[in-house]
Amino acid sequence: MVTTYRDIKADILGKITRGEWRPGSLIPSELELAERYGSARATVNRAMRELVEDGLIERKRKAGSRVRLSPLRQARFDIPVIQREIEGQGASYRYALVHSEVVPAPDWLRARLGLSDGAEVRHLVCLHFAAGAPYQHEDRWINLGLLPQARDADFSAQAPTEWLMAQIPFSEVEIGITATAADGDLARHLDCAPGDPLLQVERSTRWEERAVTYVRLVHRLGYRMTTRY
């Protein structure tokens, strides 16, 4: 059976998404890959070129090819990093993990993300602070069927967004922006009164039609969202 460039691309992509080839890792040369896959070097070259175009790999003359430290998904979608947003305002940033568990995906999440019965997810609740004051409440669910390494990842010091950006790209994003009223938990975490109007952003991401993550972000009272084009 002939190994096509699509086969090679899919196998390399799998190694990256499973964490076998970590961000910054040096990738074997095209000659080594051609021997490994039993294919022509030109076939490997085409697979590698597409991975470079997808923003997953960077190539430098005489330095070889490496898995990108930050895949260039921003060329298609701008996923904000809250630490940069806060520090860009001249405020100090602090992150806190409030809750973490591995659980079967609830029915509403399976329906939303198209997960199978029995699918497991990592559920995280986090808080982001600006100048010591609550800024954003993050309620996130990560699909362990696609990202099994998230099961044991340490989110006590690193926020999920930064971790995900280093692990896997995405090909599709769905974003919803709504107003919500603070319930008891949100009021306590965001230091506001129950019933206060808050801005809520819901975002789900996919990679090649498979769910990566769903997150609900609720911002502090008076938050103003700004976009630039």
CA dist., res. 173 & res. 198, Å (int): 22
Q: Once rounded to an integer, what is the mean pLDDT over residues 39-52?
A: 90
Q: Residue 75 — very low, low, confident or very high, per pLDDT cuts 50/70/90?
A: very low
Q: What does the pLDDT read at residue 77?
A: 46
Domain 5-67 has CATH 1.10.10.10: yes
pTM of the model: 0.68
Q: What does the pLDDT read at residue 226?
A: 75
Q: What does the pLDDT read at residue 139?
A: 98
Q: What does the pLDDT read at residue 55?
A: 83
Q: What does the pLDDT read at residue 74?
A: 43
pLDDT in tens, 183-216: 999 999 999 999 999 999 999 999 878 999 999 9
Q: What does the pLDDT read at residue 170?
A: 74
User: Within 13 Å, how many C-alpha atoms sit on residue 8's CB side?
Assistant: 26
**Which distant-in-sequence residues (6+ apart) come within 8 Å of 62 by Cβ?**
none
Give the chain's mean pLDDT: 90
pLDDT in tens, 16-35: 888 889 888 899 999 999 99
For the cut 50, the answer to whether the pLDDT of residue 94 exceeds it is yes
Which CATH number, 3.40.1410.10, 3.30.70.270, 3.40.50.510, 3.40.30.110, labels domain 73-219? 3.40.1410.10
Q: Which of 30, 13, 31 is CA-nearest to residue 67? A: 13
Burial (0-12, 13-18, 19+ Cβ within 10 Å), 75: exposed
pLDDT in tens, 100-137: 999 999 999 999 999 999 999 999 999 999 999 999 99
CA dist., res. 54 & res. 42, Å (int): 18
For the cut 60, the answer to whether the pLDDT of residue 220 exceeds it is yes
Of 8-17, 65-74, 135-144, 164-173, the range with the lowest mean pLDDT is 65-74
Domain parsing of the chain, residue ranges: 5-67, 73-219
For the cut 50, the answer to whether the pLDDT of residue 172 exceeds it is yes
Tokens of 143: 């699909």
Percent of the chain with pLDDT over 90: 66
Question: How many other CB atoms are there within 10 angstroms of residue 108's CB atom?
Answer: 9
